[in-house]
Each structure stands twice: as C-alpha cells, then as structure tokens.
Structure 1
Amino acid sequence: MAIHKRACADIHVRRAQRAKPIDLRNVSNPVLTKNALYEAGPLPPTTCDELPIEPHDSGQARAYIDEVIRCLENTWGPYLKKAGLPYEPVKVRYVKRLPKNYCGSDEEGSRDSEVWYCDWDRTATTCRS
C-alpha cells in the first residue's frame, strides 16, 4: 500500500510485497529515537488475509477496503495506545463522487480504487461506482 502525502492522503492499494524488517536497535540519532513510538518498541508483525477482488465489482471493493482498514486498526490501535498516544478508529465513508475540494484537494471525480484520508475529520472516503 502506498500513501501519497497531501492535505489528505491518497491511498492506492497494490498487491502486498513483504519488506525486510529494519533493525532499529542501532539507531542513535535522538531526533529519531526520542519519541513515544520508538520507546514503545517495534510495531508487532501482522498477518492479514488479502481478499480477492475483481475489477468493477463494487461489493468486493468495499469488502477489500473494509478489511484493509480493519487490519490497520488492529495493528496500529493497540500500538498507539501502548505508546500512550491518542487513538481513535478511522471512519469510512463510501460515496459515488468525491466532493469538490474534499480535504483541501483540487481534484474532483469518482475514481474507483482510491481512498482519501482526511486527518481533520478522521474519515477515509472512497469513491465507488
């Protein structure tokens, strides 16, 4: 999954590839290590099933996105709580057309397979046909 930073994140789900774990035990830069996430330890590994999805199947697309969100919530929620950081589950909204200027974006439309996360209302919005 790639996340492109803007006023809100544009998330494109791609077939997962396993990344090699990074050993952060030898990082000594305090700019990187003096924070609650680093002090909470490594993010625990998570295994989530990738649901099948066929092009132009809005029911499968919705189930797929719901499963990705559930997996992220089950991983990050407990970790953020362990770090003593605020945590609130994301809301998911399905729309037929992305509202004009949604989340500060100058883009408008109904692109399938895009999920826009807006941090000020903690909502992931996705277009579906």
Structure 2
Amino acid sequence: MTDNGLYKMGRLPESTCEEPPVKRNNQAAAKRYLATVVQCLESTWEQHLSENGVRFEAPRLKFVTGSYCGIGRKQDSGAVYCEDPPRSPSNPASHGWTILPTCG
C-alpha cells in the first residue's frame, strides 16, 4: 500500500489553521466548523501536491438535508455514496455509521 506516489512525496506538512469552536446541537455552528476544517485540509493538500507537481482538485462540500440520490433520510445514517454522478460521497457528521447501498 505504501508503494505509491503519494507516499514518495513525503509527509504532509502540519497545518497552521486554528480549529474553530463548535456549539453542541447547533446545526449552523457545525456547518461552519466543517467548512473551516475542510478549507484548511484543502489548503494543506493543495500546497503539498502542487510542490510535488500534482494538480489538486478540491472536493465539493455539500450539506444534504433531504433524500440523497433516491435514498430516504435515516436518523442514524452517517454516509451515503452515489454512483451518479461519480465522486459524490456524502458524509454527514453523526455518531453512528450505517452502510447504505449505492444508487445510480
């Protein structure tokens, strides 16, 4: 598994981003928190990959409040992956993970 180009680039540099506060049971605060953390990760990865000659393509962060790719909303679902369109994972923050079938 370590015999690939990503490992040959060396260690990912430590981020200097400050972790924002988040309020418990506050959806808006959770969204701001996740958006800030993702932005920090994107910045760190973009710099690291660019320095190694690799183009970085940032993933889209999308908050889904209804059904996603035809799968009804479940209280305990933590992840949904849809094949259509490709590369469209959905990982809402939750304490539990439920494996749901792919759709497409």
Q: What TM-score does the superposition give when structure 2 sets the normalisation length?
A: 0.61
Secondary structure in structure 2 of the residue aligned to 1:51: coil
Matched residue count: 92
| Aligned residue identity for 1:126 | P
Change (3 A) 1:94 1:56: same
**Matches of residues 1-129 of structure 1 in structure 2 within 5 Å?**
32=2, 34-99=3-68, 108-110=73-75, 120-121=86-87, 124=90, 126=92
Per the TM alignment, residue 60 of structure 1 is displaced from its structure 2 partner at its CA by: 0.7
| Aligned residue identity for 1:69 | V
Bigger mean CA deviation after superposition, 76-85 or 45-54: 76-85
Per the TM alignment, residue 43 of structure 1 is displaced from its structure 2 partner at its CA by: 1.2
1:93 touches 1:123 (CA, 8 Å); kept in 2? no
Residue identity (%): 26
| Aligned residue identity for 1:35 | N
Report Cα offsets for 1:55-77 as digits up to 9, x if no partner: 22121111100011011101112
Greater RCO (CA < 8 Å, at least 6 residues apart): 1
For 1:70 and 1:115, how far apart are their aligned partners in 2?
20
Q: CA RMSD for the aligned pairs? A: 3.5
Change (3 A) 1:97 1:110: farther
Change (3 A) 1:69 1:61: same
Per the TM alignment, residue 97 of structure 1 is displaced from its structure 2 partner at its CA by: 3.1
For 2:50 and 2:81, how far apart are their aligned partners in 1?
21
Q: What TM-score does the superposition give when structure 1 sets the normalisation length?
A: 0.52
Equivalent residue, structure 1, for 2:99:
none
| Aligned residue identity for 2:87 | D
Gaps in structure 1 of 5+ consecutive residues: 1-30
For 1:64 and 1:76, how far apart are their aligned partners in 2?
18
